[in-house]
Amino acid sequence: MTMVPCGLIWRRFLANRGFSNKASEIVAEVTGTSDVYGPPDPKSSLRLITFYIPPDETAYEKEYRLKRALVQDWNHMFWTAHNVQFNQAKEQFVMSVMERRGNDANVTGQPLTADDLSEFYRAFLDENREKHLRYNIEWHKKNISLLWPGIKANLSRLKKQVSFM
């Protein structure tokens, strides 16, 4: 039996539904000399970054930028899939509550109360506790792994600036 990485499964799932799996491929015209933070993505709710590429980018800066883009892509994929799952589960919950209330609630258009939704949120968090725990551990690992490339990139930039003086 061949093991398929979970990330690969999610990429295929999202690709089949028209979701991009490369958040960093979003092309925007960058003016100035810094990264540009976009508006919240409609699917992941993350503010995606268009990474600035300096004309004299060093190899260490490029490595750091590309690794940051990979972390952003991973994060974007996770939250896109999570939000799709959340919205589907919430929609099913709302429909089941409306069915339980019967036709009277549907006619009056009575909205769900905060207590109704708190049941859903609690159940959803309980069901996804392990997934959130794994996400948090992986997110910390990925961000810690950016420290050394970031230090090398900043030192190479500093070295280049000092040599121009």
Domain boundaries, the chain: 6-163
**Residue 67 confidence (pLDDT) above 70:** yes
**Residue 25 confidence (pLDDT) above 70:** no
Q: In whole angstroms, what separates CA 126 from the centre of its chain? A: 21
- Beta carbons of 56 and 160 less than 8 angstroms apart: yes
pLDDT, position 165: 65
Residue 22 pLDDT level (bands cut at 50, 70, 90): low
Over residues 86-138, the pLDDT tens digits come to 999 999 999 988 888 775 555 556 678 888 899 999 999 999 999 999 999 99
DSSP string, 116-158: HHHHHHHHHHHHTHHHHHHHHHHHHHHHHHTHHHHHHHHHHHH
